[in-house]
Amino acid sequence: MKQVSSEDNFIFLLVALLTLLFTVAVVEQFFQGGQLLVVSAIILCLAFSILGVKRQAIYTKSWFGVLLTLFLVTYVISILTNLNLSLLTIALVIVFLMHYMISAFKQVLFTGQVGSNQIIGSICIYLMIGLVWSFVYLFLLESFNGGFSGLENQHWLDNLSSVIYYSFITLTTVGYGEITPTLPITRFFAYMQSLTGSFYLAILVASLVSTGLEQRKRKVN
């Protein structure tokens, strides 16, 4: 079996992300109360993916191990003691996803080469941006009641599927309107995500094209 390396890791990550996003919808459609397994699967998937590529990175392993442990501990404590640690749990997921996304971003833009793996990686980063903002919106929902119309006031895991949908609709600037921000702070994050999605595509495409042209010039010379 071919070992996953930095040369081909993004294809596995893309398949995992698409599978996880589809699983969120399936769980929401047919199974109640299964969103915790989806969140755990997202974290474990990303953790194993990056550890498989960076087997010698002790700092990276320790960092992801600490985040995963804190996530599990806070969730278990919230269940056993009825303490509301939702904000801490969501914040840990955000930090985890952002750290992984930054690592992927560096690999895509600073490897000095543009190939199929880098192109697939750019798609993975775009999907991860949507995931990060999904948990940002969940954090806002827990912090400000009534921050979004179209979302029920319930446990954050029960809103996961709806928030992921809203995040990607906002990221792509489609904006169907079923879910809308109603507070200044939630509106701020909504239009900032739209700007992030637009600038990401413009900057990434320009960077990949310029790097690709430089590669061709070197081959010709």
Dump pLDDT digits (tens) for 133-174.
999 999 999 888 778 988 887 777 788 888 999 999 999 988
Q: Return the SS3 of 49.
A: helix
Q: How confident is the model at residue 67 (pLDDT cuts 50, 70, 90)?
A: low
Inter-axis angle of helices 116-143 and 9-30, to 10 degrees? 40
178 has a pLDDT exceeding 70: yes
153 versus 84: which is more confidently predicted? Answer: 153
Q: At what angle do helices 35-53 and 86-109 cross, to 10 degrees?
A: 30
Determine the 3-state secondary structure of 148 from DSSP: strand
CA pair distance 172, 60, nearest whole angstrom: 31
Q: Is 180 helix (H, G, I), strand (E, B) or coil?
A: strand
Domain residue ranges in the chain = 9-220
Tokens of 11: 């294809």
Q: Of 217 and 148, which is predicted with more confidence? A: 148
Residue 44, pLDDT score: 65
What pTM was computed for the model? 0.79
The burial of 221, by beta-carbon neighbours within 10 Å (0-12 exposed, 13-18 middle, 19 or more buried), is given as: exposed
4 DSSP assignment: P
Q: What is the pLDDT of residue 1?
A: 38
pLDDT band at 52 (very low <50, low <70, confident <90, very high): very low
> 205 is written with which tokens?
């495409």
Q: Token pair of 66, please?
A: 């600490």
Judge whether residue 214 has pLDDT over 60: yes
Please report the pLDDT score of residue 77 as a whole number.
59
